[in-house]
Amino acid sequence: MQKDETLDAKGLMCPMPIVKLSKKIKEMQIGKVLELISDDVGSKEDVPAWCKRTGNQLLEQKEEGGAFYYYIKKVQ
């Protein structure tokens, strides 16, 4: 997956991965892709819900080595 930025939120528990995601995506240009890495199990529901609520596009979601990877395209 092509990414423009990476946000490592490992070790952070809810709601901090979403707080950091919100802040980071605001700094990015429309059309750019952010890779979010989290080990918070709650992120599996929180990140897709956040994308739906904010209008940003979740391109891919996968689990690998005990971490969750999300690829989010900034739409607005």
Q: Which residues are the active-site residues? A: 14
What residues form DSSP beta bridges with 72? 34, 58
Q: Over its length of 76 residues, how does the chain's per-residue pLDDT go in tens digits?
A: 799 999 999 999 989 999 999 999 999 999 999 999 999 999 999 999 999 999 999 999 999 999 999 999 999 7
| Per-domain boundaries in the chain | 5-73
Q: Determine the 3-state secondary structure of 7 from DSSP.
A: strand
**Distance from chain centroid for Cα 37:** 7
* Contact indicator for 68, 37 with CB cutoff of 8 Å: yes
What the block records as the tokens of 16 is 């901090």
Give the predicted TM-score (pTM) of the model: 0.93
Q: What does CATH list as the number for 5-73?
A: 3.30.110.40
